[in-house]
Structure 1
Amino acid sequence: MKQGGVMGETRQSEACRAEPDADEADLALYAWVLEHQRVDVPAAAGALGLSPERTEAALARLRAAGLIQPAAGDPSGERAVAPEAAAGPRIAALEARIREQQLQVARIRADAERFASAYRSGAGGAGGLEVIPTLPEVRTLLTRMSGHCREEVLASQPGGGSRVPEAMEEALLRDRALLERGVRLRTLYHHTARFHGPSQAYVAAASALGGEYRTSHELFGRIIVFDRETAFLPTADGSWGAVVLREPNTVAYLCRLFDQTWEAATPFSNAADDGLAKVSGELDRTILQLLAAGLKDEAVARRLGMALRTTRRHIADIMDQLSAESRFQAGVAAARQGLLEDAAAPTAPPCGAKP
């Protein structure tokens, strides 16, 4: 008896495994009802090899999808309905909800625009200045300004390789939309960005779309300007917020500063293409000039968009190459070798430091 019970359970288990999954059961039952022009759970279950419970479940799903409906003139009977006819009312209901949501979006945007000018006036006063305190608000406004931009975007992005890949992916989506509309996009980076893999990949992708990128050892700071009318600047407290300027004279001054830096900058390329020795030599000469001007390590690191630890390693390598025991001695030795005359001079570098 026990053995027979086990064998019976085994046969029942095999029968359950032989039953089709839900999608196959639904399709099989739909085809059976369509062929026989009626709903008969016991007959369909026997013909399809389904249990009554699975047949009832499949029938419930077909009814919910509108594929099985009451037969016209026979309230007690049901029939299979064409898929197009079953889907039509459901699609129409979804489209109606989508249209309503689109109208709600339009109303929200219209309400926001009604108050935008008043907000800008109140936040900025006569100076045309607005402080955006949080990163989500900054990103929202950047996206909106990108969408409205007509002619040109100028951007200075200090920091070398400090930009995270996620932020670059978001920026690339905005840049692609701008460039596809014919907007000119110019961006300045620190030279150290040429050693940063994500920066190299981002610039390669955006350059292929028409973006223009150059690098410099020193940048005047972070800035984004749309159509030479609206400028985004970092806040003084170093937070993730931004200061938005719309005062024409101030924005024009910032654009002239960008243009001057752009003219002296170098087209973006990775360090390997330029030659590591050349790039490293240019960087060493710039560090020497900044040290000779009296800047501390922290200030040099900020100016060059480098980590403080990396900057100090460069300084140590420079002093070793110049056989200097102090920074003053390094400055004297560099001046004697003519290394302080031009930070971008193409002379052979005396120092072997690598970024």
Structure 2
Amino acid sequence: MNEQRTSPGSPPIDEDDILVYGWIVDGGSGRPEQAAAELGLPRGRAESALKRLGALGLVRPVRDSPGEVVVVDPDAVAPTLTAPLRAAIRHHEEQLDLVHGKINRLRDHFFAGRASNRDFTVEVIPTLEEVRAALNRASAECQEEVVSSQPGGSGRVPEAMEEALGRDHALLSRNVRMRTLYHHTARFNGPSQAYVAAATALGAEYRTSHELFGRVIIYDKSLAFLPDRTDSWGAVAVREPTIVGYFHDIFEQYWIRATPFSDAAQDGLERVAKEIHQTIVDLLAAGLKDESIARRLGMSLRTARRHIADIMETLGADSRFQAGVLAAQAQLTGRPPVGSGAES
């Protein structure tokens, strides 16, 4: 049996009530046995619906006709029915204002403490929650441009992309220019393709490159966020102008050489695959290890090793070092082979 919901957080009118109300409008008498028969409801539910309609003031008895009811204009009783909800909303809004007021006071203390810190130009942000808060604040304060390099962009989870898209939408709606670099491998990733398509429609710009210099986000050429090297999901915020400017210059160099983002199918799967294959050959010839190649190309170690195995088989090499030497000898790369200790 449907029960009446009268709590402030939910509507007090059930579906049975609406069904019986409509039946009365169409000429129903208001007798529960008749409502049950004509509407196909159990008598108990029909009787409960009629009682609720009466209690809510949505029907009233017909004078001199016992058991008969007529409907009442819903707009006439709406203020009474919604009053508890509106009161609850006002209460929660007042509580929300109080909490925001206290957070503002805490924020004043927080920034006052940072302003007095001589090392404020380089700040370690230890937790993911604090990083998100700092990024949201930087985005809200950004006036001109945000640029970012996102190695391994294809690995970003949809939830994180949804949060970032909301942040980006707010930036772009203020005519802030936004440019982002991804690895070429992001063009094979469905969530990355969807994210880029949505943000590009808002005015963002995306390019991809085989290799990136690292992860960084720069706001207005004055604030840079770098990943914490401890792999703790923390970050380092840098405000020192020379360092921030240096990272921005590196970004511009990579941006100029990068390719406008397009998904791999549109760009030609075979051509994209060949480009990635060629880059791995170059990195093998340069003496990089599997982990370094995977990191440089923004792909998983397993995927990188599969590519490397295919290259070694094609070249007839028994080792990675021999593959690099053979590739150089066959002029498959412009980089000369180096010793096995080139990079750890």
Asked if these proteins are the same fold (TM beyond 0.5), I'd say yes
Q: Structure 1's 64 and 195: CA in aligned 2 closer, same or farther, altered over 3 A?
A: same
Q: Structure 1's 123 and 284: CA in aligned 2 closer, same or farther, altered over 3 A?
A: farther
Q: Which amino acid aligns with 1:61?
A: R
Q: Which moved more, 1:209-218 or 1:156-165?
A: 156-165
- Give CA-to-partner distance per residue, 1:168-199, whole Å, 9 cap, x none: 23322332333233221111111111122222
Picking from 66, 69, 93, the partner of 1:102 is: 93
RMSD: 3.5
Picking from 234, 239, 243, the partner of 2:236 is: 243
Q: Is the 8 A contact 1:132 1:243 kept in 2?
A: yes
Query: What does residue range 324-339 of structure 1 map to in structure 2 within 5 Å?
Result: 324-339=317-332
The Cα shift of 1:213 comes to 0.5
1:304: which partner in 2? 297
What TM-score comes out, normalization by structure 2 length? 0.75
Q: Percent identity?
A: 54
The answer for unaligned runs of 5 or more in structure 2 is 1-14, 62-68, 337-344
Q: Which amino acid aligns with 2:164?
A: A
Q: Which amino acid aligns with 1:24?
A: L
Larger radius of gyration: 1
Q: Structure 1's 69 and 228: CA in aligned 2 closer, same or farther, altered over 3 A?
A: farther
Query: What does residue range 1-355 of structure 1 map to in structure 2 within 5 Å?
Result: 21-28=16-23, 44-45=31-32, 48=35, 54=45, 57-67=48-58, 81-120=72-111, 122=113, 125-128=117-120, 129-341=122-334
The Cα shift of 1:68 comes to 5.4
The Cα shift of 1:114 comes to 2.9
How many residues are paired up? 310
Q: Structure 1's 22 and 289: CA in aligned 2 closer, same or farther, altered over 3 A?
A: same
Q: Which amino acid aligns with 2:171?
A: L
Q: Is the 8 A contact 1:120 1:130 kept in 2?
A: no
Q: Which amino acid aligns with 1:119?
A: F
Q: Is the 8 A contact 1:159 1:306 kept in 2?
A: yes
Q: Is the 8 A contact 2:284 2:323 kept in 1?
A: no
**What is the alpha-carbon distance in structure 2 between the residues aligned to residue 177 and residue 60 of structure 1?**
50
**What is the alpha-carbon distance in structure 2 between the residues aligned to residue 54 and residue 327 of structure 1?**
77
